[in-house]
Amino acid sequence: MAHNVIAEAKRCLNCKKPLCRTGCPINTPIPDFIQTFLKGDIEEAGRMLFDNNPLSVVCSIVCNHGNQCQGHCVRGIKGEPVEVSTIENFISERYLDSLVLTKGESNGIKVAVILFLWGKIMKDCNCGYCMRGELLEKFGIYICDLEVSSLILFKEQSKPGRCIVAYKDHVSEIVNISDEERNKFFADVNRAAKAIHAVFKPDKLNYGMYGDTGCHLHMHLCPKYKGGDEWGGIFQMNPQKTFLSDDEYAEMIEKIKAAL
């Protein structure tokens, strides 16, 4: 994951007049923290983020980056913008893990903070699709955001090109979202499927949404190849057979992004 984040950070042009910062409602010093991160000082990069916004980890997930920082990135004029959200999340999570917090004197008041959107829970702190970071790294690698979903490369690659399309919010069932959102979700699945067909040319692409314990709406896109692993049968959820190097994952991700 770190390899992919560094590669993405290197795409930043460090503009003298950063439009990404202009597009951020809280004026996050985006080029500054990215350049500090690239110099190897992740602690200082994290401090810059948290000094500007103590909720940096949360905002790296829930903000509308496509209309804000990433929507103003000059790289997005002729191609893909720098994925500021991914870089910010990587830095913020690690900075928060190392941060030593001292408990102040109690004032007797207790509060609870839960993120809601139109009556449904947006994020679950125990869900890899919601929180990304180490939870997602156990089984997948974030590729990019689609219209209402995230596209994730499944780490187990016995079927080359296997990916996951995960809905943006923490909902369990397809019936929990509106007809409009459902149509957009399946449009995202279709977009991902076209990219997988273009890059890997499978003989058949299987789709899976089965499972009883996973409570975040997502779909597995599993390419199948004649004579290959599990051809003619139902694909296993995680056969734990084939894993790749960081460079191989990065190359695969770039090919998928180029085909989207």
Domain architecture of the chain: domains with CATH: 2-98 (1.10.1060.10), 116-259 (3.30.428.10)
Q: Tokens 């919010």: give the residue.
A: 169
Beta-strand pair 149-154/204-208: unpaired
For residue 27, what are its two tokens?
């004026």
User: How much is the pLDDT for 178?
Assistant: 87
Q: CA-CA distance, 112 to 124, in Å (whole number)?
A: 14
3-state secondary structure of 68: coil
144: which strand partners? 151
pLDDT in tens, 221-232: 999 999 999 999
Q: Is 128 helix (H, G, I), strand (E, B) or coil?
A: helix
Residues 7, 135, 9: CA angle, nearest 5 degrees: 15
Give pTM, 2 decimals.
Answer: 0.57
**Side-by-side strand order, sheet with 204-208:** 140-145, 149-154, 163-167, 218-224, 204-208
Angle at 138 between CA 204 and CA 247, to 5 degrees: 70
CA–CA separation, 93 and 99 (whole Å): 10
CA dihedral over 74, 67, 145, 200, signed as positive or negative: negative
Q: What is the mean pLDDT of each run of 10 residues along the chain (260 residues)?
A: 79 94 93 95 94 89 88 92 92 84 74 47 71 90 95 97 94 86 96 98 94 84 96 92 95 96
Q: Evaluate whether 135 touches 166 at the Cβ level (below 8 Å).
A: no
Return the SS3 of 145.
Answer: strand
Which pLDDT value is given to residue 119? Answer: 39
In whole angstroms, what is the distance from residue 238 CA to residue 140 CA? 11
Instruction: Give me the pLDDT at residue 110, please.
Output: 67
For 126, other C-beta atoms within 10 Å of its C-beta total 10
Residue pointed to by tokens 């795409």? 11
Q: In 3-state terms, the chain is what percent helix, strand and coil (to 5)?
A: 45, 15, 45
CB 130, CB 114: distance < 8 Å: no
- Answer for the pair 83, 20: CB distance below 8 angstroms, yes or no: no
Burial class (CB in 10 A: 0-12, 13-18, 19+), 110: exposed
How far apart CA 192 and CA 164 sit, in angstroms, is 9
